Amino acid sequence: MDRNEKSLRRFGQLLAVMREDRNLSVSELASRSGLDSRQLKRIEAGDVNIHFTTILALARGLGITPEELLKSL
């Protein structure tokens, strides 16, 4: 596994923790973020490299800033 793949998996893990800390289901966060729940599951699994606009949407769905979403990486 290369460095980029590790980063994607780490991001997905952190995203899942943040979602669970807010007692949100995958469906709820997907809806709040304007994403499909299947896409969100793939992001949390680290299976997809996401666009910056998706990071913005996820942060909005979690009620945090993009910086807060990325700072733990």
- Tell me the domain boundaries of the chain: 3-70
Tokens for 69, please give them: 């979403």
pLDDT(72) > 90: no
Mean pLDDT of 37-57: 97
Q: What is the pLDDT of residue 22?
A: 97
**Residues 57 and 34 sit within 8 Å (Cβ to Cβ):** yes
Under the banding of pLDDT at 50, 70 and 90, the label for residue 70 is very high
Q: Is it true that domain 3-70 has CATH number 3.10.310.10?
A: no
Long-range interactions of 56-59: CB distance < 8 A, separation 24+:
57/33, 58/15, 58/29, 58/33
Helices (H), the chain: 3-21, 26-33, 37-44, 52-62, 66-70
pTM > 0.85: yes or no? yes
Mean pLDDT of 29-33: 98
